[in-house]
Amino acid sequence: MRFDYFDMLSGEPLLYDGVGHLRSPYLRELRPTSGIGHGVYNFYLNFLSWDKDAIVKYNSLSKFKGAEKLNNEKLNAFDVSTLLTQTRELCQAVLSFFIVENVSWDQSKRSFIITAEYQEREVVVGVINRKNYDDVRKQILKLNFIGLNDSDEPVQHSSEESKALWERVQKHLAEQSKRAPSKDEPEYHLCNIISKLCAVHPSYNLLNIYDLTVFQLYDSFFQIGYLRSANLSEKIFSNHGGEKFKFEDWLKPILNKI
């Protein structure tokens, strides 16, 4: 399944057929007191981006009982995420944060059941299992401005801007499964991106920027950077001339495959 750029930019939850409505969280939901906190949010994204081997490693380093049984080639990422209680509960919490409807585990079906209230009763509207889990998490990552292309890899980037920002922003945060701290790069903290965007944007400020979704924030951040670059190119052309400059270049999309 593929979400349209227009739809993701709208900030509304998007319907994934057979599952439910997936969403990009609002920045206010990442606040440290009234929200889940950025550290937890970052870990949720890490969890969704892990391949099978990374999840197996997480279970092993966490010393969960039965982790040694997960080294089986017949198991996929969904299996190793749900066979152990601790990881399954984590997976449920992650999915619950990014899915509008209610998410519960059905052991008999070995699936997450998605339900919504309809006429004062809970109605099953979707399911997440070993068949669709990889694509569901891929679409969730896209809604958080990660992996905006059609690659089968959980985390890929359709533009150099997206790839560079994601890698640098995430690099300074140590994943919960790691014991060694990663190198800190404060200029790429999400808080710094928010602060810088508020400083240069004509209308976003610290009073209203938290009403943006994560997708909207990153899109605005990239657009501002692209326009600043285009303005600089225009000034250089006006002073020194040249053959490569085209005025309409500022209209080019920042994403190639979306």
Convert the pLDDT of each residue in 10-53 to its tens digit: 999 999 999 999 999 999 999 999 999 999 999 999 999 999 99
What is the average pLDDT across 3-9?
92
pLDDT at 165: 52
pTM, whole model, 2 decimals?
0.80
- pLDDT for residue 173: 34
Give the pLDDT score at 111: 98
At 137, list the tokens: 């998490």
Q: Output phi, psi for 20, to 5 deg.
A: 155, -160
CB 201 within 8 A of CB 228: no
Question: How far, in Å, are 143, 160, 227 from residue 120 at the CA level?
Answer: 30, 48, 50
Q: How many CB atoms lie within 10 A of CB 108?
A: 5
pLDDT band at residue 254 under the 50/70/90 scheme: low
Which tens digit of pLDDT belongs to each residue from 78-111? Answer: 999 999 999 999 999 999 999 999 999 999 999 9
**Letter for the amino acid at 184?**
D
Q: What is the pLDDT of residues 173-202, one digit of tens each?
A: 333 334 334 455 676 678 888 999 999 998
The amino acid present at 52, given as its one-letter code, is K
Phi/psi at 123 (nearest 5 deg)?
A: -120, 135
Q: What is the pLDDT of residue 192?
A: 85
Report, as an integer, the average pLDDT of 140-159: 63
| 116 within 8 A of 20, measured Cβ to Cβ | yes
